[in-house]
């Protein structure tokens, strides 16, 4: 499982990059979902989001999941190409698979990589 150490993580498997404001789903999340076939981004650039607000919906051949804002702030960018290539979430969840960018937070209340790895290990089957 890939868990970049420069990112912050939530218990619901979102990641946040404090340096760029990018948000996406973790490698653990995409592996649990399996083959992702649909992504819908639910927020627009300029919109204010709060922690826990649904920002995207993802569907795979196995399940569907809501993706939540890990931090509060203003949406500064939306990955408009992602809905056309949802499979990128499986192959590159930390790169081209970013969903939105949020400005105005450092994500200090989130888990670091080591804590997130422990959390995932406790949930793995």
Q: Supply 52's token pair.
A: 């826990």
Q: The pTM is what?
A: 0.94
Q: Is residue 41 part of a domain?
A: yes
Q: Is residue 106 part of a domain?
A: yes
Q: What is the average pLDDT across 83-90?
A: 96
Q: Is residue 2 part of a domain?
A: no
3 state SS of 78: strand
Cβ–Cβ under 8 Å, residues 68 and 12: yes
Q: Is residue 84 part of a domain?
A: yes
Domain count, the chain: 1
Instruction: Render pLDDT for 27-51 as a digit per residue (tens, 0 to 9).
Output: 999 999 999 999 999 999 999 999 9
Q: Is residue 59 part of a domain?
A: yes
Structural domain span for residue 77: 8-123
Instruction: Render pLDDT for 48-82 as a digit per residue (tens, 0 to 9).
Output: 999 999 999 999 998 999 999 999 999 999 999 99
- In the chain, what's the furthest Cα-to-Cα distance? 40
The pLDDT of residue 64: 92
| Selection from 34, 107, 40 nearest residue 69 by Cα | 107
CATH number at residue 37: 2.40.50.100
């Amino acid at each position: 499982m890939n868990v970049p150490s420069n990112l912050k993580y939530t218990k619901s498997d979102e990641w946040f990059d404090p340096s760029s404001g990018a948000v996406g789903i973790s490698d653990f999340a995409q592996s649990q979902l399996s083959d992702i076939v649909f992504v819908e981004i639910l927020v627009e650039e300029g919109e204010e989001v709060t922690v826990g607000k649904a920002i995207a919906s993802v569907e795979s051949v196995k399940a569907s999941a809501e993706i939540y804002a890990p931090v509060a702030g203003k949406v500064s960018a939306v990955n408009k190409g992602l809905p056309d290539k949802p499979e990128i979430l499986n192959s590159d969840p930390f790169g081209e698979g970013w969903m939105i960018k949020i400005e105005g937070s450092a994500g200090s209340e989130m888990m670091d990589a080591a804590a997130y790895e422990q959390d995932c290990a406790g949930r793995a089957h």
